[in-house]
Amino acid sequence: GAGVSQSPSNKVTEKGKDVELRCDPISGHTALYWYRQSLGQGLEFLIYFQGNSAPDKSGLPSDRFSAERTGGSVSTLTIQRTQQEDSAVYLCASSLNGDRGIVQFFGPGTRLTVL
Amino acid sequence: AQRVTQPEKLLSVFKGAPVELKCNYSYSGSPELFWYVQYSRQRLQLLLRHISRESIKGFTADLNKGETSFHLKKPFAQEEDSAMYYCALSVHTSGTYKYIFGTGTRLKVLA
């Protein structure tokens, strides 16, 4: 498919465990974003990768959260020692580049539930 | 500070009534604004952007720099417009542009 894909679609884990969420952006898109979507909080920016530049990590809520983007394509968001407040839908988006006014394309999200 | 504010978490209107979803922004540069929509069980997707000056599904949004607003309007709401709507601002940072989203407004169109 040509769209952004994410896996898994659902993840249930126990408090204290680590989880990895994966995002496959649209081929050729140099910009990749991670967001967290939760009730009452809307869409919360987490991290932004653009080309070979250092990622913008200003949205990561704690040092338990980290993300990598390998080879300028696939990205993995890792949450260590998960807490119940980490339960949310994690969305990935990509765009052609980091130009002004560029459109973002979103994946279907990963629903994370921490018990 | 760069910020997007959507003051209403939930907006309920009757079918056929006009609808306006409010969005205000704070940005010192030249603003580039968008509305994204998420229908039930679908992906978040672009609805419209102000540079295109287009009407999508009957929705329009006008940038008012004096009031720093980009409200989304539709004269006659339809039940299929029920969805979550996010206003977004593209801001310049470290040589590139990134998005700032508002907290979203859930629109419910009642029969």
Q: Convert the pLDDT of each residue in A79-105 to its tens digit.
A: 999 999 999 999 999 999 888 778 899
For A102, what's the count of Cα atoms within 13 Å in the CB-facing half-sphere? 21
Phi, psi of A70 (to 5 degrees): -95, 130
When CB atoms are compared, the residue of A48, A106, A108 closest to B98 is: A48
Q: Say if residue A21's pLDDT is above 90.
A: yes
Report percent pLDDT > 70 for chain A. 98
Q: Convert the pLDDT of each residue in B45-61 to its tens digit.
A: 999 998 777 888 999 99
When CB atoms are compared, the residue of B9, B92, B96 closest to A50 is: B96
CB atoms within 10 A of CB A63: 7
Task: Count up the domains in chain A and report the number.
Answer: 1
Report percent pLDDT > 90 for chain A. 73
When CB atoms are compared, the residue of B34, B43, B94 closest to A106 is: B43
Q: Say if residue A17's pLDDT is above 80.
A: yes
The domain that holds B62 is classified in CATH as: 2.60.40.10
Tell me what pLDDT residue A37 has: 92
Q: How far is B111 from chain A (nearest CA, A)?
A: 25
- The residues facing B66 across adjacent strands are none
Q: Say if residue A1's pLDDT is above 70.
A: no
- Chain B residues lying within 8 Å of A53, measured CB to CB: 94-96
SS (H, E, C) B57-100: CCEEECCECCCCECCEEECCCCHHHCEEEEEEEEEEECCEEEEE
- Give residue B95's domain range: 3-110
Rounded to whole angstroms, the Cα distance separating A43 from A36 reads 6
Task: Count up the domains in chain B and report the number.
Answer: 1
Q: How far is B31 from chain A (nearest CA, A)?
A: 9
Stretch A57-71: mean pLDDT, rounded? 93
- Give residue A41's domain range: 5-114
B32 contact A CB<8A = yes
Rounded to whole angstroms, the Cα distance separating B87 from A37 reads 14
How does residue A67 score in pLDDT terms, banded at 50, 70 and 90?
very high
